């Protein structure tokens, strides 16, 4: 029994000794690796080459491996490790910025170093500030040629903004270069159609971001770099930059993160205005038509984003920047207020002046009936309706029709009590007009449900 205990004790001592030897060996390898890494950082080349970068990456990987395996690391060794990794991370971010500006040959290896250093967020920030913003906000070369390039890209993704410019310039795209169109119409846009500036800005921004993404991926393919691991990082940079645009509340002049330089330069050709409007009306609606156009363009941008599944969270954040609830209330609240006013005072019974005929050839006699028809047509029209608000649009439709039924009941109760109709109108003619309006509203509601509402619901199948 004593022999067995003695053997077990010696075995445990041997295991502890082997573990201590292993820890010492790991510490030695960690220190040697850090020395090698420090030497490579001190002797980094002026221009990157694949052989040196591969050795540099391997050294960083070795340092991370030995550091994670070591136990009870000395404080000075830990400080040296942090200093070396931080320095390597800063250089990797700097080289990544340079590489994305050139041919993207080393993007994969540099991204690996940044991942080992757990500095992805810092790299995203630098790429946004030093690559994307510089590329989009500050076009190089001749401005006219740059505008022509933007025209070619925008024409593919968002033809509507070209039609807006051409309509304002009273020209056809085939008859004039984009820079010429812009020169001819930008003053009119600024003085008469300021909201178009925001719309063209957001269209151009989305198009340039997509263009930059395609350019990066093409460079990676030409350099023989696998894109599957790198494209999520590039998407994160581009989409985070898009969010920063929508978050921006500063004026265009004096803000370095607004990619609207081409429009500022274009405006400078005509006038030296001292201030510019804020970008906030795009996401918090003050101009509903501008909000509607920009939101639909943003949805198209999201729908057309390649590999959207891997970027679903960021794309949803971009979409959620738009205040849809505020937009819907601005579009519908005045209709509800008018109906509520009519409902609370049935004695007023406002009549439509001169018994106007609507665009369907039907006469409307009461203001309340006209309000109901206008509300239903408005909320389901193409210039107001948004797919994301279909549930609210349907609820609004039901609420409007319910209030109309309540108004009819209130009119009947009022007549039974007061025995009065609007002055100058006979009782039988009053009720004939009311019956006609009911039939007209019923027919128009059925027509709206059969055409725009049903077709829009079918889009979700």
Q: For the segment 286-298, what is each residue's pLDDT rounded down to a tens digit?
A: 778 878 888 888 8
Q: Which residues share a beta bridge with 278?
A: 251
State the chain's mean pLDDT as an integer.
76
Q: Which of 67-76, 223-232, 414-423 has the highest mean pLDDT?
A: 223-232
**Calculated CA dihedral for residues 124, 127, 132, 134, nearest 10 degrees:** 140
Q: Are 166 and 172 in contact (CB under 8 A)?
A: yes
Lowest mean pLDDT among 155-164, 308-317, 328-337: 155-164
Question: pLDDT (tens digit, 9 = 90+) per residue, 361-386?
Answer: 678 888 889 999 999 999 999 989 99
Percent of the chain with pLDDT over 70: 72
Instruction: Give the pLDDT confidence score for residue 375 in this predicted structure.
Output: 94
**Which of 202, 209, 208 is CA-nearest to residue 160?**
202
Is 243 exposed, middle or buried (CB count within 10 Å of its CB: 0-12, 13-18, 19+)?
Answer: middle
Question: pLDDT (tens digit, 9 = 90+) per residue, 408-435?
Answer: 888 888 887 767 766 666 777 888 888 9
Q: Which residue has the higher pLDDT, 143 or 273?
A: 143
pLDDT of 303 > 90? The answer is no
Instruction: Give the pLDDT confidence score for residue 148 in this predicted structure.
Output: 56
pLDDT of 76 > 90? The answer is no
How many Å apart are CA 72 and CA 49, to the nearest integer?
37
Length of the chain: 461
pLDDT of 150 > 60? The answer is no
Q: What is this structure's pTM? A: 0.71
Q: Which two tokens stand for residue 271?
A: 């006038």
Over residues 98-111, the mean pLDDT reads: 91
Over residues 141-157, the mean pLDDT reads: 52
Domain boundaries, the chain: 2-117, 136-322, 325-458
**Which of 355, 376, 353, 388 is CA-nearest to residue 441?**
376
Instruction: Give the pLDDT confidence score for residue 394 in this predicted structure.
Output: 94
Instruction: Give the pLDDT confidence score for residue 191 in this predicted structure.
Output: 44
């Amino acid at each position: 029994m004593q022999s067995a205990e003695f053997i077990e004790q010696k075995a445990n001592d041997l295991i502890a000794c082997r573990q201590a030897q292993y820890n010492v060996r790991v510490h030695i390898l960690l220190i040697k690796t850090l020395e090698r890494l420090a030497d490579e950082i001190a002797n980094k080349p002026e221009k990157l080459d694949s052989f040196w970068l591969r050795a540099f990456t391997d050294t960083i990987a070795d340092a991370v491996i030995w550091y994670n395996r070591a136990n009870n690391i000395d404080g000075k060794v830990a400080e040296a490790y942090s200093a070396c990794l931080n320095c390597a991370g800063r250089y990797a971010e700097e080289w990544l910025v340079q590489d994305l500006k050139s041919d993207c040959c080393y993007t994969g290896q540099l991204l690996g170093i940044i991942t080992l250093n757990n500095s992805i967020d810092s790299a995203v920030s630098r790429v946004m500030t030093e690559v994307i913003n510089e590329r989009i906000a500050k076009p190089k070369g001749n401005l006219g040629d740059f505008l022509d390039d933007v025209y070619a890209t925008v024409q593919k993704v968002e033809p509507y903004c070209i039609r807006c410019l051409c309509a304002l310039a009273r020209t056809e795209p085939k008859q004039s270069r984009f820079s010429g169109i812009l020169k001819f119409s930008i003053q009119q846009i600024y003085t008469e159609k300021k909201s178009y500036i925001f719309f063209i800005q957001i269209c151009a921004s989305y198009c340039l971001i997509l263009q930059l993404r395609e350019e990066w991926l093409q460079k990676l393919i030409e350099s023989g770099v696998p894109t599957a691991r790198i494209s999520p990082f590039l998407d994160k940079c581009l989409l985070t930059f898009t969010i920063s645009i929508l978050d921006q509340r500063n004026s265009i002049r004096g803000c370095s993160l607004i990619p609207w330089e081409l429009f500022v330069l274009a405006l400078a050709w005509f006038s030296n205005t001292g201030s510019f409007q804020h970008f906030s009306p795009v996401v918090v609606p003050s101009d509903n038509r501008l909000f509607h156009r920009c939101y639909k363009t943003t949805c198209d941008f999201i729908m057309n984003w390649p590999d959207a599944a891997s970027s679903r969270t960021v794309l949803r954040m971009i979409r959620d920047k738009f205040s849809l609830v505020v937009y819907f209330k601005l579009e519908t609240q005045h209709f509800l207020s008018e109906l509520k006013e009519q409902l609370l005072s049935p004695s007023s019974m406002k009549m439509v002046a001169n018994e106007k005929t609507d665009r369907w050839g039907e006469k409307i006699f009461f203001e309340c009936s006209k309000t109901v028809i206008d509300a239903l047509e408005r909320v389901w029209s193409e210039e107001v309706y948004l797919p994301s608000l279909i549930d609210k649009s349907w609820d609004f439709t039901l609420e409007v029709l319910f209030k109309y039924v309540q108004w009819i009941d209130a009119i009947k109760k009022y007549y039974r009590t007061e025995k009065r109709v609007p002055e100058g109108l006979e009782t039988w003619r009053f009720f004939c007009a009311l019956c006609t309006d009911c039939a007209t509203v019923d027919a128009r509601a059925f027509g709206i449900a059969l055409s725009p509402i049903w077709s829009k619901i079918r889009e979700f199948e």
